[in-house]
A and B are shown apart, each in its own frame.
Chain A
Amino acid sequence: GQQLNQSPQSMFIQEGEDVSMNCTSSSIFNTWLWYKQDPGEGPVLLIALYKAGELTSNGRLTAQFGITRKDSFLNISASIPSDVGIYFCAGQNTGNQFYFGTGTSLTVIP
């Protein structure tokens, strides 16, 4: 199935720094979701976006639904050690099928 292009593939940052990652697709999506997966766990939903241009926050996390409906961005401000994990984007197309990004592995150095 289709996979979304997610970048960067991995990030190593200092505690307190801000983080940005993005997800792009060649197709239009109606919904963008962002997940975090800790080792040995299932993905946990962070933010859901349903409208082009929408900007939604969840604590230190902010995500945006790209105006072209082909991309989405996730920002984490003032990172802390517990932000470590793998972040996945997911998009739902007009056929109501979900596709997942390739993941961004985040390491926060105390």
Chain B
Amino acid sequence: SAVISQKPSRDICQRGTSLTIQCQVDSQVTMMFWYRQQPGQSLTLIATANQGSEATYESGFVIDKFPISRPNLTFSTLTVSNMSPEDSSIYLCSVERWAGPGETQYFGPGTRLLVL
């Protein structure tokens, strides 16, 4: 398994401001992922963060809005820039681990963001 922590656990922000979310993993991983979960919805992949290279963004998500850093193999940050109420969501980081027969994905506890 993997032990993943996120900071902050929740925040209330004013529109137009930015928030940086941190994700720390208990051991080195190659790939880290950032997801958004809007209220009552499933998980939507924002981007994949690989150490030493630029993040790969999914359709509908851009680097200017969601800049990501991956300075080492245990840490990543996601910034939600120029926030609007539509950005109110749970933001989750995750990692993949090889579980023997195949891969498994583990999630952090999430960051609940409310934008006023």
Closest to B1 in A: A45
Evaluate contact between B101 and A42: CB separation under 8 angstroms. Answer: no
Evaluate contact between B103 and A92: CB separation under 8 angstroms. Answer: yes
Q: How far is the CB of A104 from chain B (nearest CB, A)?
A: 11
B59 within 8 A of A: yes
Q: How far is the CB of B23 from chain A (nearest CB, A)?
A: 11
Closest to A48 in B: B104
Interface of B, helix, strand, loop or mixed by DSSP: loop
Q: How many A-B residue pairs have CB under 8 A?
A: 50
Residues of B70-116 whose CB lies within 8 A of A: 92, 99, 101-110, 112
Residues of A30-82 whose CB lies within 8 A of B: 30-31, 33, 35, 40-45, 48, 50-51
List of B residues within 8 angstroms of A102 by Cβ: 42
Partner of B101, one of A35, A50, A101: A50
B45 within 8 A of A: yes
Evaluate contact between A48 and B110: CB separation under 8 angstroms. Answer: no
Partner of B42, one of A30, A31, A103: A103
Taking beta carbons and an 8 Å cutoff, which residues of B are in contact with A? 1, 4, 41-45, 58-59, 92, 99, 101-110, 112
23 pairs, CB–CB < 8 Å, chain A vs chain B: A1-B44, A1-B45, A1-B59, A3-B42, A31-B103, A33-B105, A35-B107, A40-B112, A41-B109, A42-B4, A42-B108, A44-B107, A45-B104, A48-B102, A48-B104, A50-B101, A50-B102, A51-B101, A88-B42, A88-B43, A92-B103, A98-B45, A98-B105
Taking beta carbons and an 8 Å cutoff, which residues of A are in contact with B? 1, 3, 30-31, 33, 35, 40-45, 48, 50-51, 88, 90, 92, 96, 98, 100-103
